[in-house]
Amino acid sequence: MNRILIVDDEASIRLLYSQELMDEGYEVDTAGTISEALGLLSEKSYSVTLLDIKLKNESGLDLLQKLVKERNDMAVILSTAFSCYKDDFSAWLADGYVVKSSDMKELKDEIKRLIERKRAR
């Protein structure tokens, strides 16, 4: 079973994403802050972390850098409402980048792609 961690400060986004991804057969956990995410990451392993870039008083890019160093077995997809972050060098560390949308097809396709890539290794 592939487990996904959703890190987003907006409860409505966490709920939407988790419901959609559970309907796809994934096991899903959610976190609203970096510290919540780190707690979950210390307890469980995940195939993919879906990470918001702009959290309330935190930057998802800071967590991304930590994850790249410590959890290279897990794919990270940056999720944001702002496409401008695609040009940020630190965002390039992520395995995927998705602009938030009510159409979940792009996100679901990206998750499937990264899980398949991990399996192929």
pLDDT at 82: 61
How many angstroms separate the CA atoms of 95 and 76, rounded?
A: 5
Q: What is the DSSP letter of 56?
A: S
31 CB-near residues (< 8 Å, 6+ apart)? 5, 6, 7, 37, 39, 40
Instruction: Assess contact for 76 and 98: CB atoms under 8 A.
Output: no
Centre a 10 Å sphere on the Cβ of residue 28 and count the other Cβ atoms it contains.
19
Domains of the chain from N-terminus onward: 3-120 (3.40.50.2300)
CA distance 81 to 69: 26
Span 3-50, pLDDT tens digits: 999 999 999 999 999 999 999 999 999 999 999 999 999 999 999 999
Q: What is the pLDDT of residue 7?
A: 97
Q: What one-character DSSP code corresponds to residue 54?
A: B
CB 46 within 8 A of CB 3: yes
What's the confidence (pLDDT) of residue 112? 94
**pLDDT single digits (tens) 74-121:** 999 988 876 555 555 556 678 888 888 878 999 999 999 999 988 877
**Structure confidence by residue, pLDDT tens digits, 61-74:** 888 888 888 877 89
Q: What is the pLDDT of residue 29?
A: 98
